[in-house]
A = this chain, B = another copy of it.
Amino acid sequence: MTVPAESTRRILVVEDDPHLGAGVVENLRAEGYEVDFVTDGRKALDWLDGKPCGLVLLDVMLPEIDGFSVCRTLRERGDNTPVLFLTARGDPADRVRGLEAGGDDYLAKPFHLRELLLRVRAILRRWDWYQSASSAEGATLRFGGNEVDFRAFRARSWNGIAQELTEKEAMILKVLAERPGEIVSREDLLERVWGYDVFPSTRTVDNFILRLRKRFERDPADPRHFLTVWGVGYRFMSEGET
């Protein structure tokens, strides 16, 4: 078996919707992957020509060249980089077409980010399955006695209570925790977590902060990790820093 090059943790995301793409990219980076992002089929092929990677996330509906064709072209080049298709329809026939085009897996939109991360991990694990333990630390977050496992969306709070995070809770926490100490506006959160086609009110964000505080703050009324920045948004503090 070939030793996995460092390229195995690099992922190329090909997606024409910038919001969706950005959300996916953020989440993959938070998992510890090195991620590049292009928005059409031609750029994808160019990019792959020069830079090997461990996985391509490939939207089917793309400007210039559609996803299936991109994949077929890759295979004709002799490039066997794993391809995970993202498609708008849930039609099982699309899955077959994806596999025929040379894809490795297939996920229908709208997908749960959870599901996507699971699949990415599953695919890459075929290459570096023996060192999968090391990838765990990129996916766990520790702060103030709490411990969050983003792969399983589970956590253990400071008082030892096991917490099952919901998808949205986990995603908000992740976005905040990616930038410890930095201010994240509600609009940022909405964009990153809810993505491309849904726009809940800012009150919704407050509510999730509330839930996170209940789960992880010793005194939810006097938060030390999920701080309010008045008039803007929130800020995550890992420990009792300034």
Query: How many subunits of this chain does the assembly comprise?
Result: 2
Listed by A's residue number, 25 A-B pairs whose Cβ atoms lie within 8 Å are: A1-B29, A1-B32, A1-B33, A1-B34, A2-B32, A3-B130, A30-B80, A92-B199, A99-B114, A99-B196, A100-B112, A100-B114, A100-B115, A102-B112, A114-B183, A114-B231, A115-B187, A115-B232, A118-B185, A118-B232, A122-B188, A151-B183, A152-B181, A153-B183, A156-B242
B residues less than 8 Å from A102 (CB atoms):
112, 114
With A32-B1, A80-B30: A232-B99 Cβ-Cβ less than 8 Å: no
Bound Cα distance A162, B33 (Å): 39
Distance in Å: Cβ of A176 to nearest Cβ of chain B: 14
- For the complex, what is the distance from the CA of A131 to the CA of B2, rounded to whole Å? 13
A2 contacts B27, C-beta separation under 8 Å: no
Q: A126 interface residue, CB < 8 Å from B? A: yes
Q: Is the CB of B34 within 8 A of A118?
A: no
Does any Cβ of B come within 8 Å of A239's Cβ? no
A residues contacting B by CB (< 8 A) are 1-3, 27, 29-34, 75, 80, 92, 95-96, 99-100, 102, 107, 112, 114-115, 118-119, 122, 126-127, 129-130, 151-154, 156, 162, 166-167, 181-183, 185, 187-188, 196-197, 199, 229-232, 235, 242
Cα distance, A172 to B27, chains bound together (Å): 30
The answer to whether B112 touches A27 (Cβ under 8 A) is no
Q: How far is the CB of A157 from chain B (nearest CB, A)?
A: 12
Per DSSP, are chain A's interface residues mostly helix, strand or loop, or mixed?
mixed
A199 contact set on B, CB distance < 8 A: 92, 95
Residues on B with C-beta less than 8 A from A231 are: 112, 114, 166-167
Q: How far is the CB of A54 from chain B (nearest CB, A)?
A: 12
State the Cβ distance, A104 to closest chain B Cβ, in Å.
8
The complex places the Cα of A227 from the Cα of B116 at a distance, in Å, of 20
Q: Which B-chain residue is minimally distant from A71 (CB atoms)?
A: B114
A114-B232 contact given A30-B2, A32-B1, A92-B199, CB 8 Å threshold: yes
Residues of B close to A167: CB separation below 8 A: 231
Neighbouring B residues of A162 by C-beta, 8 Å: 242
Complex-state Cα separation, A102 to B167, whole angstroms: 30
User: Which residues from chain B contact A153 at a C-beta distance below 8 Å?
Assistant: 183, 229
